[in-house]
Amino acid sequence: MIFLRPFINSYFILPFVIILTTITSFAQSEKYKEHSFKRKVVIVLDPGHGGEDVGKPKSRQSTHLKNEADLNLDIAFRLGGYLEERVKNVEVLYTRKTDRTVTLDERVDYANSVNADYFISIHCNSLHNKSYHGTQVHIQSKKFPTSYGLAKSFDYQFKRAGRTSRGIKDQNDRGHNLQVIQYTEMPGVLIECGFMSNPKEELFLNSGKGQTYIASALYRAIRDFENSPHKPAPDKRYPYYRVQIGTTTNKKEITYKKYKRLNMKIDPLKENGKYSLLVGREYEKRYTTKLLDEVKKKGFKDAYVRTFNAPTSKPQTKTTPPPKKVEVVEQATPVVVAASDSTTTILAKKTDSLRVVNDSLVFYRIQIMSSDRKLDLNKREFTQLEEAVYLFYDDDDTSKNPYKYQVLVGKYYVKSQAEKVKEKVRKKGFPDAFIVTVPESEARESLDQYIPKNN
């Protein structure tokens, strides 16, 4: 915006800053991408706050300003766009893609469940003193070489973009933990992109130009760090220490008043038929000792410190699994295959073939999304597909993935037909749709379904 130019030129931007143009297409062919990572890199972007939690509210009611949660999402999308558009061998995932509430536990569990290589949480700052401005980079510990190295890369690129750096802070500097980088099991960084409490910086954060400078600095930091020939040693996250406050056979007890007064995150760990109730996760024993004293003062006199070492890998015993029996059944004449749920009937053409795996007929569905909550299949986003839509629930208690509801389309015994439907639903608003293969013997019962009238 024109009225921002004097402020931006004098306050933030150095002459040699590289400005990345706004991404318009995230699906550029791999061969045209400028850079490539030497390994497959999974990056989880965590736009802070969202839904009922707006974060820092905008300073005044104005259509030109946004709350922190929306700014975090804008910057995350720009950063994700740059990575997907310009780098080969990267997968970008998000803890949220819309304005919805995601708990801290859900953010951590999701990043851990997808085995991310990096976790990057994006926030904006605020203080009563309106003169504060600039960026801040947070990590769990400066003793974590990879996290610290990545933080230095972010800080360097912010300075290169003319931003005022307020430094790199860890638990020692802050005097407290940040849950999303304390409990994630991969190198993690929390970025404060600027101060919304500073009127000039708030305008900068809300401008397309400002968000481009921030996101492009973050992009260059990740790109250069991952491709550095002299990367630091991996973070040493074992051993770590926790305080056990008790045991129970009913993990719902953690909602009782006596536990709530702790005002701490309590994790029930199932061991020998009982749940060990654990708080904290520290990498330096002195912090755990301090936490133990605090817990005992709050009435848990029998609490004690536990040490968690790196899990030992079990010796691999060589077993040769029986080969899968796969048959391709050619159709000499048209044949009607009726689905077991009686809602889908497929006509296999003469040129098509059916697959049989271990004596079980195989069918295909198209997965279009997953969610952490039950979805209404009668909404237009699903009905406009004009295909049978099914909602499934993953009841696997061992899975850390919070997105247990899956939405799948159709039931097709001919893969070529599934491919056509996949392309159709991609064009209708689900660009990440993909085909899943299911043996009839392993088919699950759907939680809910939408069947078009013409089916």
**3-state secondary structure string, 197-239?**
CCHHHHHHHHCHHHHHHHHHHHHHHHHHHHCCCCCCCCCCCCC
> What is the arithmetic mean of pLDDT over 424-432?
84
Alpha-carbon distance 10 to 237, whole Å? 43
For residues 56 and 132, the answer to whether their CB atoms sit within 8 Å is: no
Decide: pTM greater than 0.85: no
Domain-wise residue ranges, the chain? 2-226, 240-308, 326-450
| Residue 117 identity | D
The chain-wide mean pLDDT, for the chain, equals 82
Tokens 């995932």 found at: 93
Architecture of domain 2-226 in this structure: 3-Layer(aba) Sandwich (3.40)
> What is the arithmetic mean of pLDDT over 389-396?
83
Q: Can you give the pLDDT at residue 401?
A: 58
For residues 260 and 124, the answer to whether their CB atoms sit within 8 Å is: no
> What is the arithmetic mean of pLDDT over 176-192?
96
Alpha-carbon distance 224 to 18, whole Å? 14
What are the pLDDT digits (tens) for 254-273? Answer: 888 888 888 888 999 999 88
> What is the arithmetic mean of pLDDT over 28-57?
87
Q: What does the DSSP assignment read for 177-191?
A: --HHHHS-SS-EEEE
Give the fold, CATH level 3, of 240-308: Alpha-Beta Plaits (3.30.70)
- Residue 377 reports pLDDT greater than 70: yes
Check for a shared fold between 240-308 and 326-450. yes
Count, residues in the chain:
455
Specify the CATH class of 326-450 in words: alpha beta
Ramachandran class of 105: left when φ > 0, alpha when ψ lies in -120 to 50, beta otherwise: alpha
For residues 147 and 141, the answer to whether their CB atoms sit within 8 Å is: yes
